[in-house]
Amino acid sequence: MWQVPTRAPAKGLLLLFHGCSHSASDFFECEDCLGLPEERTIVVESLEFGLAVASISSGDRHFSRCWSRGDIAPTIRIIDVLQTRLLLLNRPLFAIGASSGGGFVGKLVTAMKPESFAGVSSQIMGWGGDVFRKDPWTEWPPAVEFVTMTRDSWTDQTVRENVDICKKLGVTVSHRKCPPLKMSPTFFSDRTKWASAKITEETSAEIYRALLHAGFVDKTSSLLLEDPRDSDWRMLLQRFSPAIEGIEDVQMGPDESAISEVMNVAWAMHEISSGDIAITLEFFRRAAGEAWEGT
């Protein structure tokens, strides 16, 4: 699936790689698309920044839906088709992957020509040491950004080791962390404004009040008190559903729910995040250098 900027020719092509249990359609709006909030925001802001955007699904569509080495060759063929069809063969190439998709981005870099990518970003996933044992890291390597979440100390440790390796290889590297987010009456409406399943300000406020009064949100810090993957917030909202306008139309299942995704982002353990995506895009622009302007 792909989309191009409407106001001017694309400065480059951004590839998006989902995590396990997800699909390329999470990033877009269509009849059969999930159009999840974090993914949609990444797409919208990237288009506004001047990039063509394309998402690709892993080959496994029936089990974990994670990425594997078997996806490398088909993905390279898809990239060739996209660059040709979108007339972007001579424009910078970028990639953002989350979780399994972030790990796959590292493997993809090593499998393609050294100069293929101008910049890549791996969210919530570090890379194995084998990724750095290939030629691209000593000959025209891409700039690399790692994005971790504050509560995920295991991934953070791996990424810090990756950053050290990059620095020793002379690779331009950045590491930023996503902190826990404060909840508020407009939290859900603000973060789902580009999602297929948008949450109104009224519904957002009701969800927030229900979570606050039931003790899911700290009244002083406004932070979540429990990991939403483990807490009973779904049961709470279902119990309050008659009093929450529009909640009956909101999906609550894992990996399919806008509410679930943005609460995972607020908890800051393991979730794709559009937070500070502008920093990632500016990192890519600097990495492309003169090629960004086509010179």
The string of pLDDT tens digits covering residues 212-225 is 999 999 999 999 99
Distance CA 287, CA 64 (A): 33
Per-residue pLDDT, 133? 78
**59-75 pLDDT, tens per residue?**
999 999 999 999 999 99
Same domain (yes/no): 71, 117: yes
Same domain (yes/no): 97, 152: yes
Residue 295 has pLDDT above 60, yes or no: no
More confident residue, 12 or 129: 12
pLDDT-derived band at 137 (thresholds 50, 70, 90) equals confident
Same domain (yes/no): 223, 171: no
Report the pLDDT averaged over residues 117-121.
97
Same domain (yes/no): 252, 285: no
Per-residue pLDDT, 248? 64
Same domain (yes/no): 28, 152: yes
Q: What angle do CA 200, 255, 100 make, to 5 degrees?
A: 130
Per-residue pLDDT, 197? 87
Same domain (yes/no): 242, 287: no
Same domain (yes/no): 207, 114: no
* Residues 208-246 as b or e (16 or more Cβ within 10 Å = b): bebbbebebbeeeebebeeebeebebeebbeebbeebee
Residue 251 has pLDDT above 80, yes or no: no
More confident residue, 1 or 113: 1
Per the structure, the complete domain to which residue 231 belongs is given by: 187-267
**176-214 pLDDT, tens per residue?**
999 999 999 999 999 999 999 899 999 899 999 999 999
Distance CA 224, CA 137 (A): 40
Same domain (yes/no): 276, 259: no
Residue 280 has pLDDT above 70, yes or no: yes
CA-only gyration radius of the chain, Å: 19
Same domain (yes/no): 7, 145: yes
Per-residue pLDDT, 246? 65
Same domain (yes/no): 132, 246: no
Per-residue pLDDT, 136? 65
Same domain (yes/no): 96, 220: no
pLDDT-derived band at 115 (thresholds 50, 70, 90) equals confident
Per-residue pLDDT, 22? 96
Per-residue pLDDT, 150? 97
Residue 273 has pLDDT above 80, yes or no: yes
As for how many domains the chain has, the answer is 2
* Residues 29-40 as b or e (16 or more Cβ within 10 Å = b): eeeebbbbbbbb
pLDDT-derived band at 245 (thresholds 50, 70, 90) equals low
Distance CA 174, CA 55 (A): 23
Same domain (yes/no): 170, 191: no
- CATH number of the domain that 149 lies in? 3.40.50.1820
Distance CA 295, CA 292 (A): 7
Residue 249 has pLDDT above 80, yes or no: no
Residue 243 has pLDDT above 70, yes or no: no
pLDDT above 90 as % of the chain: 83
SS3 call for 72: helix
* Strand intervals (E) in the chain: 2-3, 12-17, 51-56, 93-98, 119-123, 143-149, 173-178
Per-residue pLDDT, 290? 94
Per-residue pLDDT, 130? 86
* Token output for 191: 């973060």
